[in-house]
Structure 1
Amino acid sequence: MPRRRLTRALATAVLALAAATATGGWTFGPHTAIVEGPPPGAAAWRADDSLGVPLPDPATAAPAEVAAFFAGLSEPQRAQLAARHPLTVGNLDGAPVELRYAANARNWQAFHGTAPEPGRQLLAFDPRGRGTFAEVFGDLPSAERVAVVVPGSDNDLDSHRTPTTWARGLLAELAAHAPDVPTATIAWVGYTTPDGVGPDQATDRLARAGAQRLDRFLAGLAHTTSPAAAPTVLCHSYGSVVCGVAARDAGAAFAAGDLVFLGSPGTRSGSAAALGTEARVWASRAPSDWISAVPNVQVLGLGHGTDPTDPTYGARVFTSDDVTGHAGYAAPGSDALHNLSAITLGAYQLVSCAPTSPECSDVPVL
């Protein structure tokens, strides 16, 4: 590469780093520690021979294998396993939904000292590090349409306003538009997100770890629920990097029907086609979203690449014209929330397309 081009590339990378932080400062501290592997208690689970057969390894067993194992147990056997190993069962993709709810109610009480609020449905709960969890809104086992919200930076067990607010708001919008269709939404804070200002926001280190977890989570849903369509996955900010890596790594096995990028800094792929997924790919960015200041480059591992709302990316781009800021895509009454509801319901003819993507809703109606 000529020196002038190299200098320009390095300067662009620095700009990408600065913009990705969304603040005026920079932290040269340690990377965020990633919580990986099975939850605490896996060793005790593996050593449990009470059923006379080996239990599926929480670190290596595929969700399909886990689902088949639990399908062969009686209700008392399932309940006994959940009572003895709540952290394992509560976070085991492929285990029955209601059993995970019960196990995670125990996990919540053990961690907080009080029972969770009545009606809370935790499909995952891991208190290690800053904590990860997944919360369900609606009746997931009977839902015909499901949406999964994948958030960006600064979300964890203690701070998760954006994903849970989005999940609640979308569920209400779905009920308003299609009251006869059983629906459910999930706030999936299931990976270690970037924490504060630092280099993790401009690299894919946390996204790669999160992508593995997201792929397993979606595969688990496919084997424990029976919606009429594969879930819609809504990916916000750095969450779109996680989703992009997950889709690219899983390819045709990525268990989503629709993949939506919102306020995205890039997806680590140059185009929707490069993701290799069979999911319909959508994108939107509000005019006032500060993410537009992030240079869409990828140089020396820094930056996340092409803006998915760019016409060259090839996503179906819909409007978010009346959204304010970076986190307002599920604001009540907004065109963005209306469009997210239409996509989740498969009512693509109701999606408001951006001027750069006039044919975004021209897809078969399921």
Structure 2
Amino acid sequence: MTRPTVTQARQWRPERLREVADAWDDAAGHLQTEVDELRRSADEGRDGWAGTAAATGWERLASAQMAATAMTRGFVAAAVAARDGAARIAAARDEVLAVLSDADGYRVADDGTVAPPDGDAAPLLRLTSGGDERVAQLMMAMRATELTDLLRTALDRLGAADTETAHDIDQAFDVRAAATDQGPAHTRPAGVGPVADAAIVAAWPSMSQDRIAGQIAAMTPAQRQHLIDTMPAQVGNTDGAPWEMRIAANRINIADAILDQRRTIDRPDDDKLRRVLGQAIAAQHLDPASAERMWVAAHADAGLRAAAIGAHDADARRHIAFYQGLLAEVPDPGRREGPASESMRPRQILAFDPARASLVELIGDLHSATSVGVLVPGLNTTIIGSAGTTETARRFVAAGRGSVAMITYLGGPFPTGGPVTGLLNAAEPRFALEMAPRLVAFSEDVERTLAGTETTTGQRIPVTFIGHSYGGSILGTAESLGLTADRTLYVEAAGAGVGVHDPGDWHNRNPHVLRFSMTAPGDPIEAVQGFPTGPHGADPDEMPGVIRLDTGHRLDGTVMSGLAAHSDVLSEPSDAWRNILGVITGDRGLIQVR
């Protein structure tokens, strides 16, 4: 890192970096369009061309497509890094400018050295020094030294932000492994001859997680990287793959999802207009004459045309903004000290598959954690609407000050809908039945990943699975199918699980699992918990052996109760929230039972 000069700091314009990011996004879209066209042409041209020349041609074409695809991913990742960097550089530059403003009247050298002003001491300093000129001069000298330290520190932070941004952009464009037409030597699983990456991952669905983990462990670093680059969807979403590989692969998967949404935005305007007007015509059941008038009006009215195109792009832009956030760096909630600008960390996405509504994220540091929580949310949770769930998890990590790691688990679609349709969909057990086996498999992956990780006292890291609302039914159903957990916590849960009517229906693979539950008084979910003909099983609050936790009071002293308590027990500082934290950490001093 090189400390910038004061002149450089004054001249820097971080907004230019944001303009570059926009240009890289556009470049990704344009390049992807060309790659798509190349792929279509290649598919159409395969008929009628065979032989050695054809084989060589198709091989080289595939290599070129891979290189171009890698470059589009690089543009997407670099754009996110540039925007993050622009924000960091702008904040650091503002700090430099603030110190320079405070040093107004003092002599500031380009290297950040501040000296007292020429001439007599300022009247204010003479006044505060009791009129003693020598005291005033001493005070100005001390202030100059203080300003020098502040300015140089600010310049150093600016230089660090610049260096970090350059590093992040460089990493984003590091597409060597994916772009090469001669990848590393093919991987050899034990007892098998050379096979392609596609053949390796094709066998994973029928293999145990331990076998998958062992197969990957036998690979060289270059082979593992090649597997990430060529098969990111499988690597990023397979239990058994090392988490560091899943995180790296999912950065590629997220970039691909952004590029997929850009296909919508990069359609020709007339195509967008045709789609939007076609939907409007169908929804309003317009006759041909009325439809023609709408079409003519849309072409004649620039404002109407722009509105239609904007409506067409709106959903894609929302998805892109959310996905870019997944690639961006965020403050480390477990950091104990230091400036916020120095606590930025990449997000750790353990699973990402929009087609399956799957998003799993690790928050915190497993190396410092002494406890881990896995949060399964409930009704109306979607990938792009999951920010609230993430923030809830981040608050628990922050409260642990480095000792707590959290995982948010969206293992498939959740029931969604308004006040009426949402409740009707929540009565469907199929969401729990579909997601529970995936949660069971993931709990095995968590157990294996943490097997070699111990606390500073040499103890195994305990894992708590938390099911909130409909997530409680998912959790209970997973327990009936063989979930592995040290603790389970049912929070305002819809039930104890599909088909779970007594503790004997739970089959947690940990015979010493501790189970907890909490439901705030007046939460409407009480009306469906344990309903005899309900789909979600017994009321976990009434299950023998389950420790019932008190929801207590809010921060303002009022009772935690009513409809708002359904979500507030997880998100608002309160007795209930501290109870949940106590279960996660195993801190009996925080736990209050009913």
**Shorter-normalised TM range:** 0.7 to 0.9
1:33-66: CA deviation from partner (whole Å, max 9, x where unpaired): xxxxxxxxxxxxxxxx931256253322222222
CA distance in 2, matches of 1:191, 1:70: 26
One-letter identity of the residue aligned with 1:210: M
CA distance in 1, matches of 2:548, 2:224: 45
Instruction: Report the counterpart of residue 261 of structure 1 in structure 2.
Output: 490
1:49-92: CA deviation from partner (whole Å, max 9, x where unpaired): 93125625332222222222222222221111011111110111
Residue 221 of structure 1 pairs with residue 357 of structure 2:
no
Match of 1:282 among 510, 516, 522: 516
Q: State how 1:77-88 maps to structure 2 within 5 Å.
A: 77-88=223-234
CA distance in 1, matches of 2:214, 2:368: 20
Instruction: Report the counterpart of residue 239 of structure 1 in structure 2.
Output: 471
Change (3 A) 1:343 1:292: same
Change (3 A) 1:112 1:140: farther
CA distance in 1, matches of 2:440, 2:228: 23
CA distance in 2, matches of 1:124, 1:84: 17
Match of 1:55 among 192, 196, 200: 200
CA distance in 1, matches of 2:580, 2:371: 12
Structure 2 counterpart SS, 1:159: coil
Structure 1 counterpart SS, 2:383: coil
Structure 2 counterpart SS, 1:276: coil
The alpha-carbon deviation at position 207 of structure 1 amounts to 0.8
CA distance in 2, matches of 1:122, 1:317: 33
Residue 194 of structure 1 pairs with residue 415 of structure 2:
yes
Contact kept? 2:523, 2:565, Cα under 8 Å: yes
Instruction: Report the counterpart of residue 271 of structure 1 in structure 2.
Output: 502
Change (3 A) 1:143 1:95: farther
Instruction: Report the counterpart of residue 102 of structure 1 in structure 2.
Output: 248
CA distance in 2, matches of 1:161, 1:313: 35
Structure 1 counterpart SS, 2:489: strand
Match of 2:435 among 210, 222, 230: 210
CA distance in 1, matches of 2:587, 2:427: 35
Instruction: Report the counterpart of residue 126 of structure 1 in structure 2.
Output: 353
CA distance in 2, matches of 1:283, 1:234: 9
Instruction: Report the counterpart of residue 351 of structure 1 in structure 2.
Output: 591
Instruction: Report the counterpart of residue 79 of structure 2 in structure 1.
Output: none
Instruction: Report the counterpart of residue 480 of structure 2 in structure 1.
Output: 248
1:318-361: CA deviation from partner (whole Å, max 9, x where unpaired): 1112344211122342112211221111223531111xxxxxxx
Residue 158 of structure 1 pairs with residue 370 of structure 2:
no
Match of 1:185 among 388, 398, 406: 406
Change (3 A) 1:352 1:295: closer
Match of 2:537 among 305, 308, 320: 305
Structure 1 counterpart SS, 2:541: coil
CA distance in 1, matches of 2:521, 2:258: 41
The alpha-carbon deviation at position 203 of structure 1 amounts to 3.2
The alpha-carbon deviation at position 143 of structure 1 amounts to 3.0
Contact kept? 1:308, 1:314, Cα under 8 Å: no
Q: Which runs of 5+ in 2 are unaligned?
A: 1-184, 188-193, 260-319, 330-345, 455-459, 554-559
TM-score, normalised to structure 1, is 0.75
The alpha-carbon deviation at position 172 of structure 1 amounts to 1.4
One-letter identity of the residue aligned with 2:492: G
Contact kept? 2:581, 2:590, Cα under 8 Å: no
Point out the more displaced range, 113-122 or 232-241. 113-122
Structure 2 counterpart SS, 1:89: helix
Residue 293 of structure 1 pairs with residue 527 of structure 2:
yes
Q: State how 1:314-329 maps to structure 2 within 5 Å.
A: 314-322=545-553, 323=560, 324-329=564-569
CA distance in 2, matches of 1:248, 1:351: 26
Point out the more displaced range, 68-77 or 85-94. 68-77
The alpha-carbon deviation at position 235 of structure 1 amounts to 0.4
Which fold has the larger relative contact order, with Cα–Cα distance below 8 Å and residues 6 or more apart in sequence? 1
1:166-199: CA deviation from partner (whole Å, max 9, x where unpaired): 2111111222xxx5x3x31011111221122264
CA distance in 2, matches of 1:73, 1:143: 29
CA distance in 1, matches of 2:548, 2:409: 24
Change (3 A) 1:99 1:141: farther
CA distance in 2, matches of 1:295, 1:284: 12
Contact kept? 1:320, 1:335, Cα under 8 Å: yes
The alpha-carbon deviation at position 289 of structure 1 amounts to 2.2
1:203-241: CA deviation from partner (whole Å, max 9, x where unpaired): 321111101110111111122233523410010011111
Contact kept? 1:266, 1:308, Cα under 8 Å: yes
Contact kept? 1:137, 1:167, Cα under 8 Å: yes
Point out the more displaced range, 147-156 or 68-77. 68-77
Q: State how 1:165-180 maps to structure 2 within 5 Å.
A: 165-175=391-401
Structure 1 counterpart SS, 2:394: helix
Point out the more displaced range, 284-293 or 186-195. 284-293
TM-score, normalised to structure 2, is 0.47
Change (3 A) 1:241 1:192: same
One-letter identity of the residue aligned with 1:79: Q
| Pairwise CA RMSD | 2.3
Specify the structure having the higher radius of gyration (Cα).
Answer: 2
